[in-house]
Amino acid sequence: MEEGKGKWKIADLGKLLLNSLQAVLRGEFLLRLNIGRYFIHILYTFLLLALIIWISLMIDGTLTRVEKNKAALEELEITCNQKTYEVVSLCRRSTVEESLIRMGSELRDREKPVTELKK
């Protein structure tokens, strides 16, 4: 065995990487590897991967929008519960009577039972 034929040098690796990079930039890399006949399969795989990435990004955006809507819905439910509490508290008999007294109305709760008039 001759001296230098069976051994790899760092310079050889650098040349190989440089040639590979130039082949990729020129579009000759697949032809140099002699896999040009599989180009359609490689293209199909690339398109499938791009489609999967695009769908996952769309799903992520949808989930983000759902989380924002859930937070907004919780805030609206809290507001609705507060308004319902305020309305219920204003409809209590004691609160209504106090409001009428404050407004100066002469209406009061009945003190004796209702008299029924018969025909």
**Mean pLDDT split into 10-residue runs, the chain, 119 residues:** 62 85 82 79 94 98 97 97 87 77 80 77
The one-letter code for the residue type at 29 is F
Is residue 108, in this structure, part of any structural domain at all? Answer: no
Determine the pLDDT at residue 81. Answer: 95
Q: Which domain holds residue 64?
A: 10-103
Torsion angle in degrees (nearest 10) through CA of 86, 88, 92, 95: 10
Q: What's the pLDDT at 1?
A: 41
Helix ranges (DSSP H) in 27-38: 29-32
Instruction: Note whether residue 90 is domain-resident.
Output: yes
Residues with Cβ within 8 Å of residue 93, at least 6 apart in sequence: 109
On whether residue 39 sits in a domain, the answer given is yes
- Residue 36 resides in a domain: yes
Distances (CA, A) of 76 to 5, 81, 101: 78, 9, 34
